[in-house]
Structure 1
Amino acid sequence: MSSILNLGVIVRSKENKAAIASIMVAYLMCTLLSSSELQASSLGVLAVLSVFSFGANSLFKDVAALKGGLSCLMIALIVGTVFSEDVSRSAKGIYDLIRGVLLFFVGACFYRCFRRYEVTSVLLGFFSISALLGIGVAVAAAMIQGAPWLLENPVLELLFHETHLFANFIAMICLGLLVLVLVGVTSASYWIGFVCVCLFATLIALQAKGTLLALLLSGSWCFSGSHRSALRNVWYAALVLVLVSLTVLSFFPALDLITHFSLPPSLLERRRIYAELLLQLWESPFTGFGLNTYKDLVLQFGTAPHYTMPHSIYLESLFSFGFVGSAFLLAAGLLVARKACSPVSSIENQAWKFWRTFAGAALIFTAIRGLVDMRLGYGVWGSFALPLGILFASTATSMASRDIRVDSAHL
């Protein structure tokens, strides 16, 4: 009986609550872009419910502070439902969007409640164990298949449905470990370096080119942020180069006759999908065809049956919401990001720096990854909302602390 009481004291302690919450949030951020088996939707629901028990007061303040962005989001939802070709399918899409967006408040509440607790050792353990499990699964899948290349590996497809979903999980684990080194967890730097090399090799074996590109850009953003603006300008130049290159390769096939490049089949297939989607979009350019309808309308429009997603969340947004709804959706994101991504003047501890850096890197990873893959669903919405919530709360907290210091100085 006494051991049960002692366990209750341990669980109730703030330090252990912070550790458990940190593992839960880190798990969500690493698995939202993975298969549904890893997403743990029930964990997302539990996280949302915890907001009302830990931070009900801050929840209403956040809603008031974000009323402009939320209003734009509501207009986009109305456009995506009222003008839908299949209202029932769009209702399911709206439900997934709302579930994902609620994770914004989970991230904000988590940061406000536990920002002062140093949990980097717990996070190092979580990411290390996750990395070993991921590498172990990859090695086992390669041994069963008898080949080092893991693209379309039957074992991984059985576990994760598609190998690129497994690649997203591996990349996010690698990103988390890189950020831990950046914030000063140097006691295990050699171990982290070795594990990251193994994770990177796993991504190469998966032939996940889009995932590797997103990981390189998001990881380099982390390191460029800790240096002078010249290095950050180099990063912006690299980003522009990537965006221009992808645009040219995806939408201007005539240039192949000039460059004589031999493009991979996956990119050639995407060209076909993008061309047909843009052609279909002109049938309803302003309001689109409704959220979550692409999979059902694709056969009606004559696209090949196995193309059940447009392989670009931005083109799917145009298809779903049209130019009007997408404009309001973009406005909602920009209004929230403007409040969330403002520069801060103080760094409280390693955990504070980790969560702010990891959240920013996760946003960049999702945004880049969505250029040529993924579909709009709970995982994508949540992958944008959860890190934005962390950034929003950290920015608001920093600004409030600065105002208090200024007022004290005047006194």
Structure 2
Amino acid sequence: MAPTTVGAANERGVVERTIVLVCTLYCLLLIALPSTYGTSVAWLVALVGALRGGVWQGFYERYRVALWVMFGLVLVNALAARFPAKVAPGAGELIRSVSFMLPAMYVMQHCSRHAVVLVLKALVGLIVAACVAIYAFYAGSADVMSAIYEWSLVHIGNVHNLVNVAAMALLALVVLAAFEPNRWQRAVLFILLGFMLWFLVVLESEGTFLALLITACAWGCVRFTGGFRMLSGLGVVVGVLAYASLMVWLGAGGTASGESPGSFEIRAMINARLLELVAEQPWFGYGINSFKYVAEAAVDGVMYIHPHQIYLEALFSFGVVGCIALAAMFWGVFRLSSRQLILTEPLPLLGFLAAVYMAGKGLSDMKLMSVQPLGIFMLGAGLIALPVSCRRSCEK
């Protein structure tokens, strides 16, 4: 082959790898935004690039248990659902989310750390600049938080989407600062990190700070051993139990009489109603995406789109048997995770932190059968998975 032909092929390969990397990280950081912001296009481009790169080879062999459990779960759920036709969109979101693993694995196999850090810095810089612009524009308002809430409602669906994008950028800044060798650049990253923390404080999302606390403790479980690991694990348990206790207390009437219920009180009432319905139909649930169509799920005559709690939503949708199958599917997806990768590489660390954050945020928000939590879970699983070559060498 002529040298010019080899050079052109290598150049095309670099361009293709860069495109897949940019699209994958774009989805990881901005998946909370509506599809009109290009996340669906970025997913499709990344998926096509990953398939062209041959990542699909061996994917079925590694994850066949999880895939078969997933298809079986969807089939049984459709047969047992109160509204079988509503299962299809949720099943589509689940399958689409699993496909995110392919671009994540491609990036880990074909993209250098240098390229990853450069692209991550560029995307995070754009997100921080956008947050600075939003805050600066409304800083003179009488109520900054309300003004930003109204802007979010008009432009990106709701403020929770903005909160999750800001949290993802914050986690990315933590990772970049941890791996940055230049002290001046690290100082700049810490300054940006401080602003993003302040921005989240302005937005007053208590559930986000709980999720970030759980994420920090989960990282401690991976990073340390012995007593520090036990303390970190205790932090995760305390965070989860604290929120569950708050919901139980509010559900039992722990609010001032005569006051209109706030967001947490409404969530507590939804949780209590969900548990009542699960007790009536415990084994196979009511079906994926059925919550807003089940009349008995209404709270004070109001039908909510989703329960704002992904774990109770799973129990409501799949039942006890289905939740066991769902847990088995996630075990099949995450069983190849590498602690060494999380501790030594920036992108696996970010994937781990993002997945744990979404799991923590699911306590107080999120819709389970949506690409926002599920896509992040699968991206995280793909990024922290032990590479095929390493696994084969370990088996030998």
Moved more, 10-19 or 213-222: 10-19
Q: Which residue of 2 aligns with 1:361?
A: 353
1:209 to 2:206 alignment: yes
Are the counterparts in 1 of residues 96 and 371 from structure 2 also a CA contact under 8 Å?
Answer: yes
The aligned amino acid for 1:293 is S
1:343 to 2:336 alignment: no
**Residue 371 of structure 1, CA deviation:** 1.1
**Residue 40 of structure 1, CA deviation:** 1.8
1:302 pairs, out of 295, 298, 303, with: 298
> SS at 1:285's partner residue?
coil
> SS at 2:340's partner residue?
coil
The aligned amino acid for 1:292 is N
Are the counterparts in 1 of residues 83 and 287 from structure 2 also a CA contact under 8 Å?
Answer: yes
2:102 pairs, out of 105, 108, 119, with: 105
In 2, distance between residues paired with 1:153 and 1:117? Answer: 37
Distance 1:113 1:105, change over 3 A: same
Q: Which residue of 2 aligns with 1:162?
A: 158
1:380 to 2:373 alignment: yes
> SS at 1:344's partner residue?
helix
Distance 1:70 1:386, change over 3 A: same
CA deviation map 1:55-104 (0-9, x unaligned): 2xx41412112111222212211122111222222111111211111111
- In the TM superposition, 1:49-128 aligns within 5 A as 49-55=48-54, 58-115=55-112, 118-128=115-125
Are the counterparts in 1 of residues 26 and 39 from structure 2 also a CA contact under 8 Å?
Answer: no
Distance 1:344 1:282, change over 3 A: same
In 2, distance between residues paired with 1:117 and 1:10? Answer: 21
Q: Which residue of 1 aligns with 2:189?
A: 192
In 1, distance between residues paired with 2:332 and 2:42? Answer: 28
Q: Which residue of 2 aligns with 1:324?
A: 321
1:287 pairs, out of 284, 287, 293, with: 284
Question: Aligned residues, how many?
Answer: 386
**Residue 232 of structure 1, CA deviation:** 3.2
The aligned amino acid for 1:270 is R
TM-score normalised to the size of structure 2?
0.87
In 1, distance between residues paired with 2:348 and 2:342? Answer: 12
Distance 1:320 1:77, change over 3 A: same
Q: Which residue of 2 aligns with 1:23?
A: 22
Distance 1:185 1:245, change over 3 A: same
Higher relative contact order (CA 8 A, sep 6+): 1
**Residue 49 of structure 1, CA deviation:** 1.9
> SS at 1:23's partner residue?
helix
**Residue 289 of structure 1, CA deviation:** 1.3
In 1, distance between residues paired with 2:10 and 2:377? Answer: 30
Unaligned residue ranges in structure 2 (runs of 5+): none
Distance 1:44 1:107, change over 3 A: same
Q: Which residue of 2 aligns with 1:278?
A: 275
Unaligned residue ranges in structure 1 (runs of 5+): none
Distance 1:306 1:166, change over 3 A: farther
> SS at 1:149's partner residue?
helix
In 2, distance between residues paired with 1:111 and 1:139? Answer: 37
Q: Which residue of 2 aligns with 1:37?
A: 36
Distance 1:209 1:186, change over 3 A: farther
Q: Which residue of 1 aligns with 2:169?
A: 173
CA deviation map 1:216-270 (0-9, x unaligned): 332454477555554333221111111111121113458877xxxx998222111
In 2, distance between residues paired with 1:314 and 1:266? Answer: 18
Distance 1:42 1:121, change over 3 A: closer
CA deviation map 1:307-361 (0-9, x unaligned): 221011111111111111111011110122122x2433898xxxx7011111110
In 1, distance between residues paired with 2:134 and 2:341? Answer: 42
The aligned amino acid for 1:366 is M
Q: Which residue of 1 aligns with 2:179?
A: 183
1:248 pairs, out of 238, 245, 248, with: 245
**Residue 159 of structure 1, CA deviation:** 1.0
Moved more, 124-133 or 107-116: 107-116
Distance 1:263 1:391, change over 3 A: farther
In 2, distance between residues paired with 1:224 and 1:322? Answer: 30
CA deviation map 1:366-409 (0-9, x unaligned): 110111111021222211111111212x4544334556xxx7xx
